[in-house]
Structure 1
Amino acid sequence: MPGTAHELSSPWEAVLLEPHTPNGAAVIVLSGSSGRIDRQRTELLAEQGFLTLAIRWFGGPGQPAGICEVPLETFVAAVDLLDSRGARRISILGWSKGAEAALLTAVHEPRVDAVVAVSPTALTWCNLGPGLDGRQRPYRSGWTWQGQPLPFVPLDDTWFEADHGEGPVAVRSSYDLSERTFADRLATAAIPVERMSADLLLIAGGDDEMWGSLRYAEQLAARRRAAGLPVRLVARADAGHRVRFPGETPAPPSPVYLYGGTDEANARLGAAAWEPILSTLALP
């Protein structure tokens, strides 16, 4: 069992798990575009001795209904909470859109000591879903910092207007198309991981059907290396978007989206990444 659980309601819906045997390090767990609190992953990390906090960062009271102009201060407040509890190392583990949030937060908040980015992007994207005003168009940034929207890449809506057949679809090609359509915006929307003081671990599968996370991870790693900064990338060519760590149950198939990979390949990537994750999150 992970230890003591605390249900938190302010300033966001959250779960804080205190381990039976604390190791002095703390982790913020961010899910992807579901917006849910990833209780299972939070419990797994608490079982390893980490003070673990999972938060709902959109879709809750007072928050935008979608990933639309989400203030990065939301995640800084989570850092504040763990800092106030005496954590000696604070990391963020984010998956998919949560990885985008984790990377951007670490760029702006120097108290983040490490980021584990699972199935990441190397770009800041536009909103997915409505903002506080209930509007989805025109496209806006997914994120703000100090009240200002971050530069972003919009989506090319012609992809969504095309006929993709019946059943679940792979939306990776929509991101690839949008990069070509808005090529002039890629440079300003690139996530500047060379400005992060945090350690960085990237985990990605080459068969990701949501977006090209392995290509993005390689771009992020290249930016770090060009700046002479450390980075580690754990990857498998046959894994998809839903990387599964030891002890996690497989996610059910989606009727809407294809995620790529297989349960077996996703689990193999998760197993290969588990020890690097624990060593990245732990106190040096």
Structure 2
Amino acid sequence: MGSHIRGWAGVLAALALIGSAAGCSTRGSDRDAAIEVDAPTALMDTAVHLRVTGLTAGEQVTVHSQAKDQLGKEWHGEADLRADGHGRIELDTAEPAGGTYQAADGMGLFWSMTPQDGEGDPESTSFRPPIADPHGYRVTVTVSAHGQQLASRALTRQWIGVGVTHRELTLAADHVVGELYLPAPGTPRHPAVLVFGGSDGGNSKLFEAAMLASHGYPALSLGYFGLPGLPAKLEDVPLEYFAAAARLLAAQPGVDPAHVLAMGTSRGSEAALLLAERYPDLVHGAVVYAPSAQVVPGFPDEGTTAWTDGGKPVPQGDIPLDRVSGPVLALAGWEDQVWAAGAAAGQIDRTLSAAANRYPHQALVYPAAGHGVGTLPYLPTGTSLVHPVLDKLASLGGSRPANAAAKAAGWPKVLAMLAALDG
């Protein structure tokens, strides 16, 4: 990531017009198979609708997907599907007889991809989109039968929208560490989001910030420990640091300073709720994924304090929510194996109700999802990970299909909440 501001030209819009619905065929016959798609170029959090045409009635084929991640590793998905009586397959409704996903799902080929040739366990590996090309990354969809390729189509999944600008934030220049993404210059003022992760440390929410800005919402992906110049561990992290980032975000062009929200995942949910409660004139609500309703000890040493405010430790225990000045959305999976996030989401919602909070608040708990309930949909993610701080495998719970469904349902709720604030 460079430190300069850069905007992406309208070439993406032109690319989207090229062959928008026409399929691409590789079988030269009177009944050429083709792959049709409504949006060959789309933001990576946007569902596309795929159709295979030109098959014979009832023909069994395999539809494949392939992409390269940030490290150049190949990922692959597939579904064995049968054409209808008209020789068509609608991927939104077609039930696979086999493959990397098991139920009808128009985006199954995307979220169910696994590392090719055994390069990693799909349950403990997640796809990180390549960022070298600002135009996005390619997903190639092919159709084959009996070892013969019948059709192929290349799709572009944009990780950053047209006109969005980016600037790296440093301690030396900005007093915070992060990545600032702003919609195209001249965009009317919109709500803005301060985004941060959990106990993994570093700055892990760049894509969320880029996607939010691509939808018109200025966003700042913030690192708060585990980076040079910041605390090495999740211990004694000052809330004032987050507040400084929120002020920086609020001062940006295109930001409605009356609607700056915090979005925190896992341990970051504590900071998001604390900011909304303790800085209600600055942070106006929160989105929390896989949350805690309590302040818990520091990490990884449980004998330490996680957060400070005014130089004093923030007490452990339930987080009061009687001063929150905006909407709160809590999203969780009931099968979370890290902590009881589903129960916590419900507690957060009840605490706001008991405080007679006048702003919208909601808990969305997905029964079969785990700690990987968020955030961006349609990206392959596992149900466990090697924790970067502990350096050991941690089970997150849930299943890949359930987590994928939760993300596909939950992310639009986040965007809708922000859109409601535009009123």
* Structure 2 equivalent of residue 233 of structure 1: 363
* Structure 2 equivalent of residue 127 of structure 1: 298
* Structure 2 equivalent of residue 93 of structure 1: 263
1:17 and 1:43 in contact (8 A); partners too = yes
Further displaced range: 32-41 or 67-76? 32-41
What is the DSSP-based 3-state SS (H/G/I as helix, E as strand, rest coil) of the residue aligned with 1:100? helix
Deviation at 1:23, TM superposition (A): 5.1
**Is 2:199 the partner of 1:33?**
yes
Deviation at 1:22, TM superposition (A): 5.5
**Is 2:128 the partner of 1:4?**
no
**Is 2:268 the partner of 1:102?**
no
**Is 2:385 the partner of 1:254?**
yes
Deviation at 1:60, TM superposition (A): 2.2
2:334 and 2:341 in contact (8 A); partners too = yes
2:336 and 2:397 in contact (8 A); partners too = yes
Amino acid at match of 1:225: S
Q: Which has the higher helix share?
A: 1
What is the DSSP-based 3-state SS (H/G/I as helix, E as strand, rest coil) of the residue aligned with 2:234? coil
Q: Distance in 2 between matches of 1:244 and 1:118?
A: 6
- Bigger radius of gyration, 1 or 2? 2
Q: Distance in 2 between matches of 1:116 and 1:126?
A: 22
Q: Calculate the TM-score normalised by the size of structure 2.
A: 0.54
Q: Return closer, same or farther for 1:243/1:198 CA change in 2, 3 Å cut-off.
A: same
Deviation at 1:148, TM superposition (A): 0.4
Q: Calculate the TM-score normalised by the size of structure 1.
A: 0.80
1:208 and 1:240 in contact (8 A); partners too = yes
Alignment of 1:146-161 (within 5 A): 146-152=310-316
Percent identical pairs in the alignment equals 34
2:328 and 2:362 in contact (8 A); partners too = yes
1:40 and 1:248 in contact (8 A); partners too = no
Amino acid at match of 1:28: L
Q: Distance in 1 between matches of 2:216 and 2:231?
A: 33
* Structure 2 equivalent of residue 161 of structure 1: none
Alpha-carbon RMSD: 1.7
2:305 and 2:314 in contact (8 A); partners too = yes
Amino acid at match of 1:148: K
* Structure 1 equivalent of residue 344 of structure 2: 216
**Is 2:266 the partner of 1:115?**
no
Amino acid at match of 1:47: S
Q: Distance in 1 between matches of 2:417 and 2:263?
A: 10
Amino acid at match of 1:95: T
Deviation at 1:267, TM superposition (A): 1.6
* Structure 1 equivalent of residue 233 of structure 2: 66
Alignment of 1:36-51 (within 5 A): 36-37=202-203, 38-51=205-218
1:22 and 1:51 in contact (8 A); partners too = no
Q: Return closer, same or farther for 1:19/1:40 CA change in 2, 3 Å cut-off.
A: same
Q: Return closer, same or farther for 1:276/1:58 CA change in 2, 3 Å cut-off.
A: same
2:377 and 2:411 in contact (8 A); partners too = no
2:176 and 2:244 in contact (8 A); partners too = no
Amino acid at match of 2:265: W
Unaligned segments of structure 2, at least 5 residues: 1-159, 387-392
Q: Return closer, same or farther for 1:65/1:140 CA change in 2, 3 Å cut-off.
A: same
Deviation at 1:242, TM superposition (A): 0.8
**302, 323, 342: which one pairs with 1:195?**
323
Deviation at 1:233, TM superposition (A): 1.2
Amino acid at match of 1:266: N
Deviation at 1:244, TM superposition (A): 3.7
Deviation at 1:248, TM superposition (A): 5.0
Deviation at 1:238, TM superposition (A): 0.4
Deviation at 1:63, TM superposition (A): 2.0
**Is 2:244 the partner of 1:77?**
yes
Q: Return closer, same or farther for 1:55/1:248 CA change in 2, 3 Å cut-off.
A: farther
Further displaced range: 242-251 or 111-120? 242-251
